[in-house]
Structure 1
Amino acid sequence: MDQEHQPIPQAGQPLRQRWQGEIRVLAVLGGPIVVTQLLQMATGVVDTIMSGRASAQDLAGVSIGVSLWIPIFLFSLGTLMALTPVVAHARGAQQDDEIAPAVYQGFWISLLASVLIVALLVNIDPVLGWINVNDEIRPITAGYLYAMAFGMPAILGFNVLRAYADGLSLTRPAMIASIISLAVNVPLNYVLIYGKLGFPAFGGVGCGWASAAALWVSFAVMIGYVALARGFRGTWLFTRVHPPQWQQIKALLKLGVPIGCSYLVESSMFSVIALFLAVYGAVVVASHQIALNVASLVFMIPLSLGLALTIRVGFLSGAGQPLAARFSAFTGVALALIYGTVSAVCLWVFAPTIVSWYTPEYQVQRLAAELLVLAAVFQLTDAVQVTCAGALRGYKDTAVPMVMTVVAFWLLCLPLGYGLGMTDWFGPALQARGFWIGLVLGLSVAAVFLSTRLYLLSRRRILPPQTGHGFSAQVR
């Protein structure tokens, strides 16, 4: 067992000692993940702030561009995240020889996804016309997405290696690569957005080129780390290239596609909201994007806790420790509740101050602050639903959570938000406020669904003993 990174709980420990031990393990696993997530989110925040300082039009153009490419990227990312529980199970079951073949199947999936996404993003202008993006914003959005297309192979490859490293309980490499990426992105933004060092001022489009370059840097750093660090040597990743194995790819997709769909459902909901709001002009779109940036930044900590739970629950399940896996899962949920309470209070109190960091325009500040107050309302339920989803992935339970997510977000949240925000069905249209009220309902329902699923699954099943060996057995 990997006792250094994930100790197995000892039988008969006092409850307080078990709590302390489990919190310590989750902190060791989750600490670098939190930093990685915050750094990756900081890239988006920096892009938003720096483009906003150029003009409201640049901010709106980048915001719509992000709203379009993020769901596509997150679907691919979620699919690749199936590698994390697979690797964690293999490490827990002492089947390290099965890890490298699984990782290479992830690389083949990422290569195909890259080709499809690049082809879409470089030809996005007709789509922007079809969805009636404002004419003054449309060229900025198209240019931003064209530039981002060249970074997609890098970020997908990076996330294959990240899922591999996380599954081995080695969560620091991705953190280090993300630090370096942000250090590259910020000065490149400055040069390309505002036109420094002899470059023309690209405005919001410059964000795309800076981010694409930074993504390739992070991928290169991750390759070097995996190739040279001692903790990766036992899995022999670069000893030989494993060719595509269609049965293994099919098994990995069976586990990963529902994760990708869950990510797509949630993220595309935000994207659809942004596109609906585009008809109201730059002020409304910019306000929505600022509030979404802040809420997403706060969300990174419970999201990271959920990722740590995927690793921990997957490892303990693979090691044949179902009771310890259940205890770990609900320890994580309890921590999420505590964090959600603190973040709700902070958003409620400091909303005006926070939005003032993004833009000097009073109208944008006022609306964004109102939306942040609504974000404070759903902090607890948002933290619970994402940690429960992470624990369920550790159990390799992905299909049912996907259905629950679809119901909560697309059948409840979005229709209510549209009715409140875009129509007079319930009174005067509330625009962005109406959609954010819908978010409160959707996230609350998702939290109830997923926490119930986690309670019942961990109680009756956890993970049955493996009846076979190898990659296909791991993903069943």
Structure 2
Amino acid sequence: MTKPLTAPLRAGAAPAEFRSWGDELRATFALAWPLVIAQLAQNALTVTDVIMMGWLGPYQLASGTLATTFLMPFLVGGIGVVGAVAPLAAQARGGRNIKAIRRVVRQGFWAALTLAALLVPLVLQIRPIFGWLGQDPQATILAEQYIQIAAWMLFPGLAIISLRSLLSAFDATRVILVITIGGVIVNGIANYILMFGHFGFPRLELRGAAIATVLTNIAMLALFAGYVVTNPRFRRFHVFIRFWKPDWPRYREIFRIGTPIGLTVLAEVGLFTAAALLMGRIGTDEVAAHAIALQLSSLAFMVPLGMGIAATVRVGMAYGRGDRDGIHKAGWTAFALGTGFMGLSCILFLTAGPIIVALFLDPSVPANANAVALAATFLVIAGLFQIADGAQVVAAHALRGLSDTKVPMMFAIFGYWAVGLPTSYILGFVVGWRGVGIWLGLAAGLTFVAIILVARFALRERLGLLRRLAS
């Protein structure tokens, strides 16, 4: 049995920080709304790159999209691992263990550097990997030009997560929002200058976009670090003092908790990537419609994702101070907020699908008619699983606040790949429902995972997830 890394926890060891459901609702919402907007701003970084790559031409856009699609799983998986700093820091805060907070954040940096050092050499193998996958040789060359530079953003990009987790654990989410929006602005300006050769700089095209990505992440890391070392609230943790001093138990704990998180995220991302590949076997209209419906679903998903991150912090704090009632209120409040919003997006998708799709494709153009109809149909199915999608992400994050990640990972992988993907294939190709069948499979996988994870949080006492609260 491993020794707990935070202060000893006892049932009722500390009074609840918030006494009522209303207090918890206000605290969760205040913590979550900047995170929601920050997640949207983070997406805007990618959108900015895509838009400006499109200005270079369709071939550069296709090559750049291939490159960023290849890089994303490595980045997302690494973020999941380093993201374990958030629940550990929140638990330490709840237990008023300042030394543990400093050590967890510091070892989060160690984990980020370790992962980046392992992942960068893999990412740089894009050419042989794309050759094995049968990608266009010329597009592969351009994608490799981007990746040779952009791969190095993994070092600052993953290190940022450790500091973001610290700020989230202490409710300083507005700072995260401001710095992320600043990153979007810096990225746009750097793209404009370096990709197109303005203000006397050489025209670097995709290489310029990659340099801008690296510089933006370095700038954001510097801003986060500067805030942490200058703000009196965080300066007291001395995060960078004796930075090279190891703390192997906490280092291992980050990987123990974070690796299942990273694999869970990869499993979900992989499910939707596989669905896109299945759509590609049907036709271009299905691919276009899938892209539209997926973009809208992803946009709505940012809200429960922000609520989920807040749930990790709020549940983790209550867990750290030994507050069963606080865990109960924090988890179900975030669940209500996340699924409540997804209920609204469900109604919107069900009632206004064709109107929303018209923002992407002109329905008056005869060539768009099939894709528009398909996208509206896919949005109806997306609307039906909105609540399940919100429920599974909030429940997963609430369980992370209890350091429960391994079992949820196994359920998620099973739900996505043993339920969702086979159902998509059977309904889409065996039954013959084509794109509709694929989206029904996605709904089945997400619903399965949602039911299991929500039930696991509800039964946390019986399953022994709160055993460290025992006296």
Aligned partners of 2:376, 2:138: CA distance in 1, in Å? 26
Correspondences of 1:156-235 after superposition (within 5 Å): 156-192=158-194, 196-197=198-199, 207-235=209-237
Alpha carbons of structure 1 residues 259 and 318: separation in structure 2 relative to 1, 3 Å:
same
Q: Give the structure-1-normalised TM-score.
A: 0.85
In structure 1, the residue corresponding to 2:460 is in which secondary structure? Answer: helix
Equivalent of 1:426, from 400, 423, 431?
A: 431
Encode CA deviations 1:219-261: one digit per residue, 9 max, x unaligned: 1111111111121023221232242333332222111111111
| 1:264-287 deviation per Cα after TM superposition (whole angstroms, max 9, x unaligned) | 111122233345555678766555
1:9 matched to 2:11 = no
Aligned to 1:400: 407
Asked if the contact 2:307/2:334 (under 8 Å) is kept, the reply is: yes
Q: 1:411 is matched by which residue type in structure 2? A: A
Structure 2 CA distance for aligned equivalents of residues 353 and 59 of structure 1: 27
The correspondence of residues 16-95 of structure 1 with structure 2, limited to 5 A, is 18-52=20-54, 55=57, 57-95=59-97
Task: Tell me the equivalent position of 2:423.
Answer: 416
Residue matched to 1:471 = none
Amino acid at match of 2:226: G
Partner of 1:383: 390
SS in 2 for 1:235: coil
Find the aligned partners of 2:355 and 2:55 in 1 and give their Cα distance: 17
Instruction: Name the counterpart of 1:320.
Output: 322
Range moving further from structure 2, 382-391 or 436-445: 436-445
Decide whether aligned partners of structure 1 residues 97 and 390 sit closer, same or farther in structure 2, where only a CA change above 3 A counts. Answer: same
Q: Which amino acid aligns with 1:297?
A: L
Distance 1:203 1:434, change over 3 A: farther
CA RMSD of aligned residues (A): 3.0
Pairs within 5 Å for 1:266-415: 266-277=268-279, 285=287, 287-352=289-354, 354-355=356-357, 363=368, 366=372, 368-415=375-422
Maintained 8 Å contact 1:52/1:359: no
CA contact (8 A) 2:288 2:371 kept: no
Look up the equivalent residue of 1:302 and give its one-letter code: P
Distance of 2:132 and 2:249 partners within structure 1: 39
Q: 1:191 to 1:274 in 2, by over 3 A?
A: farther
CA contact (8 A) 2:111 2:254 kept: no
Deviation at 1:161, TM superposition (A): 0.9
- 1:91/1:318 contact within 8 Å kept: yes
Q: What is the deviation of 1:53?
A: 5.7
Counterpart for residue 443 of structure 1: 446
User: For the residues of structure 2 that align with 1:191 and 1:439, how far apart are their CA atoms?
Assistant: 41
Partner of 1:105: 107
- How far residue 141 of structure 1 moved from its aligned partner, in angstroms, is 3.8
Secondary structure of 1:151's counterpart equals helix
> Would the alpha carbon gap of residues 292 and 386 (structure 1) be closer, same or farther in structure 2, given more than 3 Å must change?
same
Name the residue aligned to 1:115.
Answer: 117
Residues 180, 220 of structure 2: 8 Å contact kept? yes
Match of 2:103, SS state, is helix
The 1-side partners of 2:85 and 2:292 are apart by 33
Please give the alpha-carbon distance, in whole angstroms, between the structure 1 residues aligned to 2:169 and 2:327: 15
Distance 2:281 2:468 in 1: 54
Q: Is 1:249 matched with 2:254?
A: no
- Give, in whole Å, the separation in 2 of the partners of 1:142 and 1:131: 14
With 315-324 and 167-176 compared, the bigger mean Cα shift is at 167-176
Shift of 1:315: 0.3
Are the counterparts in 2 of residues 166 and 311 from structure 1 also a CA contact under 8 Å? yes
Deviation at 1:463, TM superposition (A): 2.4
Q: Which moved more, 1:207-216 or 1:115-124?
A: 207-216
Q: Which amino acid aligns with 2:30?
A: V
Q: Is the 8 A contact 2:79 2:158 kept in 1?
A: yes
In the alignment, the residues of structure 2 paired with residue 56 and residue 289 of structure 1 have an alpha-carbon distance, to the nearest angstrom, of 17
* Count of aligned pairs: 453
**What SS does the corresponding residue of 1:241 show, helix, strand or coil?**
coil
Shift of 1:61: 3.8
Deviates more, 1:297-306 or 1:370-379: 370-379
TM-score, normalised by the number of residues in structure 2:
0.86
Contact 1:53 1:359 in 2 (8 A): no
Q: Provide the rounded CA distance (Å) in 1 between the counterparts of 2:117 and 2:65.
A: 24
Once the two structures are overlaid, the 10-residue window that deviates more, 134-143 or 223-232, is 134-143
Which stretches in structure 2 are left out of the alignment for 5+ residues? 1-6, 8-14
In 2 relative to 1, CA 24–229 (structure 1 residues): closer, same or farther, beyond 3 Å?
same
1:211 CA drift (Å) = 2.6
Deviation at 1:121, TM superposition (A): 1.9
CA contact (8 A) 2:300 2:342 kept: no
Following the alignment from structure 1 to structure 2, what is the Cα–Cα distance between the partners of residues 282 and 50?
24
* Compared CA separation, residues 262 and 291, structure 1 to 2 (3 A): same
How many percent identity over aligned positions?
32
State the partner residue of 1:153. Answer: 155
> Matches of 2:316 and 2:243 in 1, distance apart?
26
| Contact 1:288–1:368 (8 Å) recurs in 2 | yes
CA distance in structure 2 between the aligned counterparts of 1:350 and 1:215, rounded to whole angstroms: 38
